[in-house]
Structure 1
Amino acid sequence: MRGLHPCNLGWLSYGALKGDGILIVVNTVGAALQTLYILAYLHYCPRKRVVLLQTATLLGVLLLGYGYFWLLVPNPEARLQQLGLFCSVFTISMYLSPLADLAKVIQTKSTQCLSYPLTIATLLTSASWCLYGFRLRDPYIMVSNFPGIVTSFIRFWLFWKYPQEQDRNYWLLQT
């Protein structure tokens, strides 16, 4: 289950602490959409107990993080730096996660497990955030999104090296 990713709530908190309206709006929308995804998934999931336990565990971890950043780090500047570092680590791990399939792609010489549209979206999103961070001179936003650009180009290279085969049934239906 993908669920509510700490990136949205972390960057939302970072934006609120920094007073950055763009970070607040974008990550509020992202958190709302992910919450709707969780609710829809829970509605249709046959193993509700496992999913509810995972969701409750994630919410507990998020509450612990919230308590740490907002209660145990009283200095706003230190909180901003620690929260920026926390968000950066999660964002970088999110961008690096598709490379877990790298060995499978090379071993099978197939990119069937990779999504070309998602690769394009990742490149555009990470480049936009990287430029936004550069404009603000915010190293946490800029540096954490740079791996998204790099991993997108790695996946583009993989698509070039191991092109996806077209589904024969699709071609038969078009004739």
Structure 2
Amino acid sequence: MEFLQFLSWACIVFTVGMFSTGLTDLKKMRASKSADNVQFLPFLTTCLNNLGWLYYGILKTDGTLVLVNTIGACLQSLYILSYCHYTNDKRRVTSQTLLAGGVVCGGWLYFSVLLPQGESQLAQLGLTCSLFTISMYLSPLADLMEIVRTGSVERLSFSLTVATFLTSTSWTLYGLQMQDYYIMVPNTPGIVTSLIRFFLFWRFASVNQGVPSYKLIEI
């Protein structure tokens, strides 16, 4: 098996595995018939990210990007619909979902209609997706600072940390092999933040007084 093909399969398996962590929240909502202890915005922002990269993959005719982000968008849509069904704050959730839909429509109009097809279109879309992905990887930094302050890793998800590390590493190597810096660069922060989380697990695990650091509460 060629190295690029191996990386492609690694990206698919690890990324779908990371997206599937939301099934835990879905199971929690179905069991409690409530969405009170589940965060909604990660589902919404991840879905937007999937749709952006899906369009980028279509323009580049990259089957790996298309497959991964099609599965990701479908899973996030399932989580969003389930959250809308179980939440008591339907007005807020509906308004946020409609706003996200407006962003998708506006983005499609800009990249598909206003921009001429070609390298400029691909470059601007790639840059937009890259910046959005970087912001998602860096968003938990405030929580990490709080963990350093309190010395407790109970709020960290060990399995999600592992999944993020494997996913970001595989996509970084895939982007390097494809010589696509729009794929490689935004996944590098995922490696860095995952290594920081691993260090925090090692440094503060003993503070939890016998509570396994693998008891998972996602950031």
Moved more, 29-38 or 112-121: 112-121
Deviation at 1:75, TM superposition (A): 3.2
Please list the CA deviations of residues 109-159 of structure 1 after superposition, one character each: whole Å capped at 9, or x if unmatched. Answer: 111111111110000000111111111111010111111011110111111
Give distance in 2, aligned partners of 1:145 and 1:167: 31
* 1:57-96 equivalence runs, <5 A: 57-96=99-138
Partner letter of residue 128 of structure 1?
Answer: S
* 1:1-150 equivalence runs, <5 A: 1=40, 2-4=42-44, 5=46, 6-150=48-192
Give distance in 2, aligned partners of 1:115 and 1:3: 16
Which structure ranks higher in relative contact order (CA pairs < 8 Å, sequence separation ≥ 6)? 2
Give distance in 2, aligned partners of 1:79 and 1:151: 30
- Which stretches of structure 1, 4 residues or more, deviate above 4 A after TM superposition? none
TM-score (norm 2): 0.74
Task: Please give the root-mean-square deviation of Cα atoms over the aligned residues, in Å.
Answer: 1.3
Give distance in 1, aligned partners of 2:151 and 2:59: 46
Structure 2 portions without partners, runs of 5+: 1-39, 213-219
Structure 1 portions without partners, runs of 5+: 169-175
Deviation at 1:167, TM superposition (A): 3.5
Partner letter of residue 166 of structure 2?
Answer: L
Please list the CA deviations of residues 43-99 of structure 1 after superposition, one character each: whole Å capped at 9, or x if unmatched. Answer: 111111111111001110111111111111113210100010001001111111121
Partner letter of residue 175 of structure 2?
Answer: G
CA contact 1:16–1:24 (8 Å) conserved in 2: yes
Q: Percent identity?
A: 56
CA contact 1:3–1:55 (8 Å) conserved in 2: no
